[in-house]
Amino acid sequence: MTLAAEYDEIREEAVRLAGGPGDMPQRVALLHSIFVDSGGNHAFPEVALHGALWAYGFYERRGAVSRMISYRYFYDREERARRAYMLFEFSNGFKQANRSVFVDSYTNYFFTKRFGEQEGADEVLRSCSRR
């Protein structure tokens, strides 16, 4: 199997493990496992999971921003609905971005761990991670 095929196989696994946009808790657990697996040397997953957990509660339907919208626009149902929808759209975009970060982090970490010393691995990372 070529290195590019190996990369694609690991990426497929990452996509499966990432779940849907709202499956943030499982991605958080897997990101932490990358940090642990690296012996604490690869700290980016900890940064990513910290941001994900913070935003998960902050932007959700019953999160702080949602409550602020409800209080601020209590007497204006249309504006409250409009703002709640804006928050919903933003939250979905954030979840999609978190999912993409997970897929890239997982794929690149495990590809590098398994094949990083092989000739041509750097080129596969450069070319495949741009897709």
Indicate the residue type of 37.
D
| Contact indicator for 31, 100 with CB cutoff of 8 Å | no
68-103 pLDDT tens trace: 777 777 887 888 788 888 888 888 888 888 899 999
Q: How far apart are CA 77 and CA 84, in angstroms?
A: 10
Domain range summary for the chain, segments of one domain joined by +: 3-118
| Predicted structure pTM score | 0.81
DSSP H stretches of helix in 73-120: 77-115
| Contact indicator for 29, 104 with CB cutoff of 8 Å | no
Please give the backbone phi and psi of residue 119, each rounded to the nearest 5 degrees, phi first: -60, 135
What pLDDT is recorded for position 130? Answer: 67
